[in-house]
Structure formats: C-alpha cells, structure tokens
Amino acid sequence: MHKIFMQDFGKKMAISCSAAFLCALSMNFFLIPAHVYAAGINGAAQLLTDVLHDWLNFNIPIGLLVLLLNLPIAWLGWVKVGKSFTFFSFVTVLLTSVFLSVIPISPLSSDIILNSIFGGLISAVGVGIALKFGISTGGLDIIAIYLTRRNRNASSGKYFLILNGIIIVLAGAIYEWQFALYTLISRFVNSYVIDMIHTKYQKLTVITITDHKDKMIAAIQDQFDRGMTIIPSYGGFTGRKRYSIMMVISHYELYDMEQLIKRIDPHAFTNILETNKIIGLFHTEEQQKAIQRMKHGEVLNNKQHVLSDDDFDYFQQLFNNQTNKKFTNHTPYLDE
C-alpha cells in the first residue's frame, strides 16, 4: 500500500511540474509579450502587474504576484475544499511562480493572433493533463468549487465564466478593447483544448462491471460515499453472472475513482459517460465527508452538519441500526 501511495504521489508531482512549466511557457513566450491575458489568477496577476507598472511605475515580478494572490485561496481550499486537492494545486502554483521567474520573456512571434492561439493552446495542455490526474492549477478552480458548494444549484462553469469575464472586461476598460477581444480568442482555444483532453462535463456516470461486487461497493462507500445502483449482469458469450455498479461522480473525482477500480479489480470493465443533467439527490464532496464521519461513529452537531435534516436523520438511523447490513436496491437515497 505504501508503494502504491508513493507511486501515485510521484506521478502527481511530475504532472504538477509539467502543468506548471507549460502554463509558464505559454505566458512568457506568447501571452505576456502580446498583452493577451491568461485565465484565472494568472491572468489577474498579469493584469495587475501591467497596471502597477504603467500607472504607478512600480515593478513587481509576475511570478511573485501569482504566488501572493494564491496564498489566501490555498488557505480557503485547505479548510473548505480538500487537503489533498489543495496540496497538489498549491504545488502547481508554486512551480508556476518559479518557472515564470526563471523562464525569460521571449516572444516567438509578433503576430498577436498567433500568440493568442498558441498561448491558449499550450496552457490548456498543462491544465487538461493536470485535471485528468485529479489536480488543478489553483486559483479559480478552488474558488469555483467552494462557491458551487455554497450554491448547490449552480455549476462551477458559471463561476469560471463570471470570474474570467471580470478580468477580460477590466483589461479592455483599462487598456484597449482589442486586447480583451484577443484574450477571448485565447480563452476559446484554451477551453476547447481542455475539453478535448479532459472533459467539459461537471458530472460523469460511471458503470463498472465486476466480479468483486462487495469489495468494490465497500471501497467506493469508504472513499466517496456515493450512492450506487447494483444491476445483476450476464456475459454475452459465457453467460457467467457478474454485477454492474452504476454511480454519478464529479469530474474532479474521476482520477481517484479510476485508481480505486483498478486497485480493487484490475479486470473490471468500466464505461464512463458524460452526464448533462441530474434530477435527484447528488451529494457534494463536503456532504460526503459528513456522511463518512457519521459512518465512523463521529457525533455531528445537528446545527453544524451540511446535510439536509432528512438526510441527516436518515443516515444517522442507518448507521446506528444497520452498521453491518448492506444497502438494499430500494433505498430512496441514491445519487444516480
């Protein structure tokens, strides 16, 4: 188990380093020379650096500013979002700051359109690879997840759009509007490439066919607390009975879910579907943690828990009375 943990840790560190390098490369070679602004906190730091230099004649390294702007966000993520997710996100931010400081600003082209396109493309490769392995590049990812949890009816994509839109409008208002328009081109390329590498959907349906039903269910409930639908299945050629486990997860949980399935049953067949809309109960990561604490015997204050009163009463009774019993397929509390 320790070896698997170290391998996963080393892999995520390598991904963080690669994502940070690509983000810094896109900024210093393409976006900064063209006055086209990056997405998220990197773009905010870029705009603030320009304003301080042009209006106040005050120079501050953009790498340092990226790090400073991300510090309060890292604290928010550590307390409200998740320690593992925030740790690797901050590692990526820290490495991005270092690379921005050591890589010289060297424009490869004087064509602003080419700079916009390739700047957005290269950073998107870094961000997309990071997301594929359950890591973010910090900044707006953490803010959007936190705001989504506060307002459960909204998607994180909505907050990305609003927060990035503020940067674009400010860039156009303070400088020339053409820079804002070129930034929009860069953002479009960036979003399109990220969608190709990772997924544009916030929710995904995972269907796993396995011989190890009980182990798989126990592991998923222990790590994710996702509700599942268990479907008896039969092999088309062999006729052998197996089980299909269907659940809905967020796209941030995808990498960890893939690793869990491979660990429990390397021979499982898994189909991952893009989910447009969910009607019904879907627990956030924060709610899952509360359910997990209840499962392991921790007493939660009824006024402090993040679950609805009905959910709180249901799970409290379930774990008190049915600790060693299996979930039945007629439970009304399913996430699908």
pLDDT in tens, 96-152: 999 999 999 999 998 999 999 999 999 989 888 887 787 877 777 777 767 766 665
Residue whose C-alpha is closest to residue 95's, from 37, 142, 135: 135
**pLDDT above 90 coverage of the chain, percent:** 33
**Structural domain tally of the chain?**
2
The answer to whether residue 231 is domain-embedded is yes
Verify that 28 and 94 share a domain, yes or no.
yes
| Long-range CB contacts for residues 9-13, cutoff 8 Å, separation at least 24 | 11/133, 12/88, 12/133, 12/134, 12/135, 13/88, 13/91
154 plus 249 within the same structural domain: no
Q: Is residue 105 domain-resident? A: yes
8 and 147 both lie in a single domain: yes
Separation CA 190–CA 172 (nearest Å): 19
Residue 164 in any domain: the answer is yes
Same domain, 113 and 216: no
Segments forming the whole domain that contains residue 279: 203-321
138 and 43 Cβ atoms separated by less than 8 Å = no
Query: How much is the average pLDDT of 37-66?
Result: 90
Last residue of a domain, one of 140, 168, 197: 197
Q: Which of 147, 167, 197 is the last residue of a domain?
A: 197
3-state secondary structure at position 271: strand
Q: Is residue 57 part of a domain?
A: yes
DSSP category for residue 324: T
Q: What is the per-residue pLDDT for 323? A: 55
Question: What is the structure's pLDDT at 329?
Answer: 45
Whether residue 235 sits in one domain with residue 277: yes
Amino acid identity at 29: F
Give yes or no: residues 151 and 178 share one domain: yes
Cα three-residue angle 203-212-231, rounded to 5 degrees: 55
Contact in structure between 47 and 55 (CB atoms under 8 Å): no
Averaged pLDDT, 304-312? 69
Same domain, 176 and 298: no
> pLDDT value at position 322?
54
Average pLDDT rounded to a whole number, residues 38-67: 90
For 100-109, 163-172, 198-207, 246-255, which range has the lowest pLDDT when averaged over its residues?
198-207
108 and 248 within one domain: no
Report the alpha-carbon distance of residue 59 to residue 46 in Å, rounded.
12
| Whole-angstrom distance, CA of residue 185 vs CA of residue 178 | 11
In a domain, 305, yes or no: yes
Sheet containing strand 203-210, edge to edge, reads 229-234, 241-250, 203-210, 269-275
User: What distance in Å separates the CA atoms of residue 336 and residue 281, rounded to the nearest whole number?
Assistant: 7
* Amino acid, single-letter form, for residue 104: P
Residue 334, domain member (yes or no)? no
Boundary residue ending a domain (170, 197, 224)? 197
Predicted pLDDT of residue 27: 95
Give the domain CATH number at 272. Answer: 3.30.70.120
**Residue 335 resides in a domain:** no
Helices (H), the chain: 2-26, 32-34, 40-56, 62-80, 83-102, 112-132, 140-150, 156-174, 177-197, 213-223, 254-264, 285-295, 309-321
Q: Look at residue 313 and tell me if it is in a domain.
A: yes
Specify whether 193 is located in the same domain as 296: no
Residues 122 and 183 grouped into a single domain: yes
pLDDT band at 336 (very low <50, low <70, confident <90, very high): very low
What one-character DSSP code corresponds to residue 297?
Answer: T
Closest C-alpha among 315, 307, 310, 312 to residue 149: 307
Whether the CB-CB separation of 336 and 246 falls below 8 Å is answered with yes
Do residues 129 and 233 share a domain? Answer: no
- Residues 6 or more apart from 122 whose CB is under 8 A from it? 22, 25, 26, 29, 30
Burial class (CB in 10 A: 0-12, 13-18, 19+), 238: exposed
What separation, in Å, do the N-terminal and C-terminal C-alpha atoms of the chain show?
31
Residue with tokens 């898994």: 270
Residue among 278, 283, 329 at smallest CA distance from 308: 283
> Are residues 233 and 303 located together in one domain of the fold?
yes
- H-run or E-run covering 253: none
Contact 109, 115 (CB under 8 A): yes
